[in-house]
Amino acid sequence: MSSDLHLEGIAPRMRVLPVVYFSILDYHLRREARWEETTVIDPRTNQEEPRRNCKPINDRVIGCLLGTRTGNSVEVTNCFPVGHEDKEDTVDIRLDYFESLRALHAQANPNEEIVGWYSTGPELQHERSIFIHRTLCEDSMNDVHLWIDTSLDTGKLGIYAFTTASEGVPRLVDEEQDIYMPDQTFVPIACDVLVHEPERVALGLLNKGLEGGSSVKLVSDLNHVAEATTNLQDKIQDALTYVDKVLNGSVEADERIGRYLRDTVAAVPKIDPDQFEAMFNDTIQDLLMVGYLSNLAQTQVAIQDKLNDALATEI
């Protein structure tokens, strides 16, 4: 499907849940390592001394991506690691471990299928990655590859998504069965973070904790609405400031930002201001009523506890 989509000019799109990124990075940080014996020169005695260093076996880790396909969109909702070892001229993949985990995930999550695989590390390693892609993916032309650049050369994690396309003349891969297979190359595709509302709130709280350097408490629904409204106003003001700078020529126009602003404005539903204000006030009243009923229930429980304590004391 991927090659057909490329030929038709329809670019496939990939969306990944945040928990998938966390799982991949956790596996990368805990990747298998071995102890190596080395010698260093002690500056105090100017003599060689033996040292043992713990060095990862591989610079990267690999694993399978699980999710669903809808049209030309791939949603990645889960993943599991696959053990491997990069050698000088080949890649050893623990296929027995891979098959066991795939069977377990198929039983636990029958709605999820393998939609691709992931890798980490400082480089893509094209030829080795194509080999892994063909080994792990049953439908190598449709499945995707997610590469996370953990070198931090740009000061942040690099996240890249690919699908494959055929190139060149098919070559003979099995003489006995006369099987020909076309060469493949990775083609970049769009990759977005698929964040549901509870996850968005959780990530926002995590960012607050990082910025403030202290613990963060959960806010009430009303305070959350107030904060969201303030953030929305700030973003609208930033967009207006950028548009004004483009119009007066102080900033060069960016077509990508312009298209994004156009799509954002087009996504806003057309609602009469009076109707919107009435809907907003109704929502606020509902939140206030929920808060009032919650406090009333807590008060009644507290009174009941005091009455029970008083009766127990008299008895």
The predicted-structure confidence for 284-297, as pLDDT tens digits, reads as follows 888 888 888 888 89
Q: Which two tokens stand for residue 21?
A: 């990124």
Contacts with 224 (C-beta within 8 Å, 6 or more apart), sequence order: 201
Averaged pLDDT score across all residues of the chain: 81
> What are the backbone angles phi and psi of residue 10, rounded to the nearest 5°?
-100, 110
Question: What confidence score (pLDDT) does residue 6 get?
Answer: 46
* C-alpha span between 142 and 184 (Å, rounded): 12
Q: What is the pTM of this model?
A: 0.64
Question: What confidence score (pLDDT) does residue 16 get?
Answer: 94
| Fold for the domain defined by 2-36+48-193 | Cytidine Deaminase; domain 2 (3.40.140)
Contact 115, 76 (CB under 8 A): yes
Q: Where are the alpha helices (DSSP H) in the chain?
A: 2-8, 18-29, 95-108, 126-136, 197-212, 221-247, 255-267, 273-314
> Residue 66 above 90 pLDDT?
yes
* C-alpha span between 181 and 131 (Å, rounded): 12
Mean pLDDT of 75-103: 88
* End-to-end Cα separation, the chain, in angstroms: 78
Q: How many other CB atoms are there within 10 angstroms of residue 60's CB atom?
A: 23
> Residue 23 above 90 pLDDT?
yes
Residue 135's pLDDT band, with cuts at 50, 70 and 90, is confident
